Amino acid sequence: MFNIEAMDNSNKFQSHSYIKDYGESDDVKNQISKRVLIVDDDDILREFLDQALTAANIKVKSASNGHDALDLLNNESVELVLTDIQMPGMDGWELATHIKKSSPETPVILMTGMQKDQVEEKRKNNHIDFILYKPFSVKQLETTVTNYLTKGEQRRIL
């Protein structure tokens, strides 16, 4: 289970809690606004990720499943996709395959609570850019996403 300290007793997120823990570094203030698609069937986690990335000046789109994510990607562009592995219907592996076929340059980051050895074996046969293992901190999330967004910007400049 994903531990979120920024959630109050009514399962509502308190923005000031995670922003205070996150801090307001110069990197966050200077982050160029990019669009990230979050795909997760867990409403609470999806909202938490949305708020954490929004606090880092990253524009967020979200979908609750792989099929909705592909529909959104057919109509809008994003610079990165952050998706859970285990979802009903289309899992994160299948979603990543579809994304990489149509947009090979778009980074795909998978999130999972699965054991590392199970995931790494399957990763060998897939085009995944990075895997975030739960639980992860807001700082780990922001650093990982920002690093991949920056890499994408560098590819466009070259």
pLDDT tens profile 64-80 = 999 999 999 999 999 99
The answer to whether residue 62 is domain-embedded is yes
The pLDDT of residue 44: 97
Average pLDDT over residues 39-43: 97
Asked whether residue 114 is domain-assigned, the answer is: yes
Residue 60 domain flag? yes
Residue 28 located in a structural domain: no
- Segment 139-148, tens digit of pLDDT: 999 999 999 9
Whether residue 22 lies inside any domain: the answer is: no
The DSSP H or E segment spanning 18 is helix 15-22
Token duo for residue 10: 């009514």
Residue 146: predicted pLDDT: 94
CATH number for the domain that contains residue 37: 3.40.50.2300
- Res 25: pLDDT: 44
CB–CB of 28/142 below 8 Å?
yes
Range of the domain at 130: 33-152
pTM: 0.77
Identify the burial level of 89 via C-beta atoms within 10 angstroms of its C-beta, where 0-12 means exposed, 13-18 middle and 19 or more buried.
exposed
Reported as a single tens digit per residue, the pLDDT across 123-142 is 877 779 999 999 999 999 99
Residue 83 lies in a domain: yes
CA distance 27 to 84: 26
pLDDT at 89 > cutoff 70: yes
Confidence of residue 54 (pLDDT cuts 50, 70, 90): very high
Rounded to an integer, what distance in angstroms lies between the CA atom of residue 86 and that of residue 133?
A: 13
Using pLDDT thresholds of 50, 70 and 90, give the confidence band for residue 85. very high
pLDDT at residue 34, rounded to an integer: 82
- Give the Cα separation of 106 and 7 in Å (integer): 31
Q: Could you tell me which of 79, 94, 49, 82 has the C-alpha nearest to residue 150?
A: 79
Share of the chain above pLDDT 90, in %: 65
Number of structural domains (the chain) is 1
15 in a domain, yes or no?
no
Amino acid at 139: K
pLDDT of residue 37: 98
Q: How far is 153 from 115, CA to CA, in rounded Å?
A: 32
Q: Provide the CA 97 distance to its chain's centre, in angstroms.
A: 16
Question: Would you place residue 40 in the very low, low, confident or very high pLDDT band (cuts 50, 70, 90)?
Answer: very high
What pLDDT score was predicted for residue 123? 83
Could you tell me if residue 146 is inside a domain?
A: yes
